[in-house]
């Protein structure tokens, strides 16, 4: 065997077993890591929840920091949403908490525990990077805010019912100039009002006063020290949820009015048909449940009555009702200058009513308020002056109605007796006038009846004349029709006779022409045959029966009757014409 044919045995390298060992160890490490990751690091955040993560290791945060960023030690600012996540339990603690859910008709008021410090005395954060209460609220929905750094208070939204408007007062910022609306960043009454609808506002940043718009009434009763302010009825809402929000809003407004009345030592606000609960608006606590408000008027008591001396020195007290209206475009200015509706009545309307009543009423005698004309004149003057005076205060007065007058009985009795005498005299005169008018009416009734009979007679006469004229016209028309028919029949007879004559003449002429042409044809036929005899023979032949046969028998030479059986010579029939 040669060296070329020798078998070569490969030598195994010592590096390959080491690589394979490393690969096996790496695979085992990877499998162990995946098992640890899937079995111990994996966790789920269910729907409607979030995960708050606390890092046990990492970079040390700044002192006083509550929430940290990823890579720092402490509670992460970021929360993990719903779904599958992987975090090492050795390095992180995970707490799963419900997400913040704001239902429909509610708002979320956020208080930040982290961020820049606020100025002294401020509680409303200027932005979301500062501590304190956020000015903006969270609307209905689901939010994921770290509960370690933010607290969310769920409160009612503000629902302005139909027939009301909301005046907004900013409760934070520097004070606005006296008598001026608050501008952005200032504390005070805002110029823009809230029309009926649903609003998501922060009750710590804004206070909303719900004020009645449209027609309202203030009633002052004689002999009482309290005037009643009646507001217009509230319209019912379509849904229970909105009705609850309206109830909360209106109840809070009544609570504010009650507190103001108590502070002013005035009669407390009395509600006839509405509830007495606090609303979620403003700084008052939230109600546990909201009972629906009846859609009826609200009434407030204010200690005032209309009394003044008359021109002749008697004390006169009036039962009076003033109808007034607050327009939406003037509502914010009225609230800024005078306050809520009871304050408007207390500070503006009632003083003007009392002042004008005393000013105008002192020029009238006591008996003028009993007589109808004097009271109507005073009521008209009062309405005019009140309307002109309060128009400058942006308050529209529609009417001032005097319902009753209370004067001393010692003057009321004689005036009433005189008035009754006058009224009795007027009644007697009216009765006399009525009797006179009744007599005149009877005369006129008789005249009308007489005229009616005359009209009936004239009508019957006219009907008879019209009937006679109609019958005469009908008879004349019938005679003319019959005459026309006779004339037509005569013309028809003449036409028929003429037709018969023409028909007879035509038949005679026709028969003559036919006979004449027939004779000429016979003559021409005779001439063609060679004479009249030939024509006669031809006619004879034509008149023979076509079935008749003529036989000529040949009997041999010299005779015609020799063989009757064999010698037959048929004659052909004459041709048909």
Residue 206 lies in a domain: no
- Of 258, 78, 231, the residue nearest 161 (C-alpha): 231
pLDDT for position 110: 93
Whole-angstrom distance, CA of residue 250 vs CA of residue 391: 28
CA 544 to chain centroid: 115
DSSP 8-state class, residue 368:
G
pLDDT at 192 over 80: yes
Whole-angstrom distance, CA of residue 430 vs CA of residue 399: 33
Residue 396 lies in a domain: yes
Structure tokens at 130: 């500062």
Beta bridge partners of 211: 165
Residue 421 lies in a domain: no
Residue 354 lies in a domain: yes
pLDDT for position 549: 64
Looking at the structure, do residues 555 and 513 belong to the same domain, yes or no? no
Looking at the structure, do residues 333 and 271 belong to the same domain, yes or no? yes
Helices 532-543 and 409-529: crossing angle in degrees, nearest 10, is 120
Averaged pLDDT, 499-521: 88
Evaluated on CA atoms 497, 500, 503, 504, the torsion sign reads negative
Look at the chain and count its residues.
577
Looking at the structure, do residues 500 and 553 belong to the same domain, yes or no? no
How does pLDDT run across 377-423, given as a tens digit for each residue? 888 888 899 889 888 888 999 888 888 887 777 766 776 777 778 78
Looking at the structure, do residues 489 and 556 belong to the same domain, yes or no? no
Residue 365 lies in a domain: yes
pLDDT for position 372: 65
Looking at the structure, do residues 260 and 403 belong to the same domain, yes or no? yes
Helix and strand numbers (H, E) in the chain are 8, 24
pLDDT for position 194: 92
Looking at the structure, do residues 256 and 374 belong to the same domain, yes or no? yes
pLDDT at 224 over 60: no
Average pLDDT of the chain is 79
3-state secondary structure (DSSP) of residue 571: coil
- Is residue 80 very low, low, confident or very high in pLDDT (cuts 50, 70, 90)? very high
Structural domains of the chain, count: 4
Q: Parallel, antiparallel, or unpaired for β 186-194 and 174-175?
A: parallel
- Of 122, 117, 116, the residue nearest 135 (C-alpha): 122
Residue 153 lies in a domain: no
Looking at the structure, do residues 534 and 550 belong to the same domain, yes or no? no
How does pLDDT run across 359-383, given as a tens digit for each residue? 888 888 877 777 667 788 888 888 8
pTM higher than the cut 0.75: no
Quickly list DSSP for 232-271. PPPPPPSSHHHHHHHHHHHHHHHHHHHHHHHHTTPPPP--
Looking at the structure, do residues 361 and 491 belong to the same domain, yes or no? no
Domain range for 448:
426-540
- Per the listing, tokens 């002013």 go with 264
Looking at the structure, do residues 444 and 558 belong to the same domain, yes or no? no
Q: Which of 365, 381, 410 is the last residue of a domain?
A: 410
Residues 6+ apart with CB under 8 A from 115: 125, 128, 129, 130, 131, 132
Q: Parallel, antiparallel, or unpaired for β 132-134 and 124-125?
A: parallel
Looking at the structure, do residues 349 and 495 belong to the same domain, yes or no? no
pLDDT for position 107: 94
Residues 6+ apart with CB under 8 A from 192: 168, 332
pLDDT at 535 over 70: yes
Looking at the structure, do residues 236 and 384 belong to the same domain, yes or no? yes
Residue 372 lies in a domain: yes
Looking at the structure, do residues 383 and 513 belong to the same domain, yes or no? no
């Amino acid at each position: 065997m040669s060296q070329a044919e020798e078998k070569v045995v490969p030598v195994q390298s010592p590096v390959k077993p080491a690589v394979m060992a490393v690969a096996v160890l790496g695979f085992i490490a990877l499998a162990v890591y995946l098992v640890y990751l899937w079995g111990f690091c994996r966790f789920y955040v269910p729907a409607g929840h979030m995960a708050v993560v606390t890092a046990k290791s990492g970079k040390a945060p700044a002192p006083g920091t509550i929430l940290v960023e990823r890579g720092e030690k402490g509670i992460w600012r970021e929360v993990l949403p719903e779904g599958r996540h992987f975090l090492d339990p050795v390095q992180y603690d995970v707490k799963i908490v419900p997400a913040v859910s704001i239902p429909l008709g509610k708002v979320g008021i956020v208080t930040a525990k982290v961020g820049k410090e606020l100025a002294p005395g401020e509680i409303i954060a200027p932005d979301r990077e500062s501590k304190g209460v956020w000015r903006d609220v969270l609307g209905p929905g689901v939010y994921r805010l770290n509960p370690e750094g933010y607290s969310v208070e769920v409160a009612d939204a503000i629902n302005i019912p139909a027939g009301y408007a909301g005046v907004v007062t900013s409760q934070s910022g520097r004070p606005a100039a006296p008598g001026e609306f608050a501008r952005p960043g200032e504390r005070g009454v805002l110029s823009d009002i809230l029309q009926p609808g649903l609003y998501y506002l922060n009750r710590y940043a804004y206070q909303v006063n719900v004020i009645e718009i449209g027609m309202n009434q203030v009633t002052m009763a004689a002999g009482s020290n309290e005037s009643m302010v009646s507001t217009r009825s509230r319209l019912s809402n379509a849904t229970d949820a909105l009705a609850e929000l309206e109830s909360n809003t209106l109840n809070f407004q009544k609570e504010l009015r009650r507190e103001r009345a108590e502070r002013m030592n005035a009669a407390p606000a009395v509600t006839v048909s509405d509830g007495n609960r606090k609303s979620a608006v403003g700084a008052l606590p939230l109600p546990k449940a909201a009972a629906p408000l009846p859609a009826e008027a609200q009434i407030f008591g204010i200690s005032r009555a209309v009394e003044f001396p008359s021109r002749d020195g008697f004390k006169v007290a009036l039962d009076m009702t003033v109808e007034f209206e607050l327009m939406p475009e003037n509502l914010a200015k009225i609230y800024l200058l005078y306050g809520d509706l009871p304050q408007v009545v207390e500070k503006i309307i009632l003083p003007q009513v009392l002042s004008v009543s005393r000013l105008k009423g002192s020029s009238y005698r006591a008996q003028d308020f009993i007589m109808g004309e004097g009271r109507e004149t005073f009521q008209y003057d009062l309405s005019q002056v009140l309307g002109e005076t309060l128009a400058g205060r942006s308050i529209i007065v529609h009417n001032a109605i005097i319902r009753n007058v209370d004067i001393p009985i010692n003057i009321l009795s004689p005036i009433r007796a005189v008035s009754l005498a006058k009224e009795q005299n007027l009644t007697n005169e009216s009765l006399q006038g009525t009797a006179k008018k009744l007599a005149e009416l009877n005369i006129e009734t008789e005249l009308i009846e007489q005229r009616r009979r005359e009209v009936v007679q004239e009508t019957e006469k006219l009907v008879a004349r019209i009937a006679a004229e109609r019958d005469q016209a009908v008879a004349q028309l019938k005679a003319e029709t019959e005459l026309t028919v006779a004339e037509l029949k005569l013309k028809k007879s003449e036409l028929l006779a003429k037709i018969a004559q023409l028909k007879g003449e035509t038949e005679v002429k026709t028969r003559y022409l036919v006979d004449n042409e027939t004779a000429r044809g016979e003559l021409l036929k005779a001439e063609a045959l060679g004479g009249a005899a030939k024509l006669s023979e031809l006619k004879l032949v034509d008149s023979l029966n076509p079935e008749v046969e003529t036989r000529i028998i040949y009997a041999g030479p010299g005779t015609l009757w020799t063989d009757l059986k064999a010698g037959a010579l048929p004659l052909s029939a004459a041709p048909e014409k």
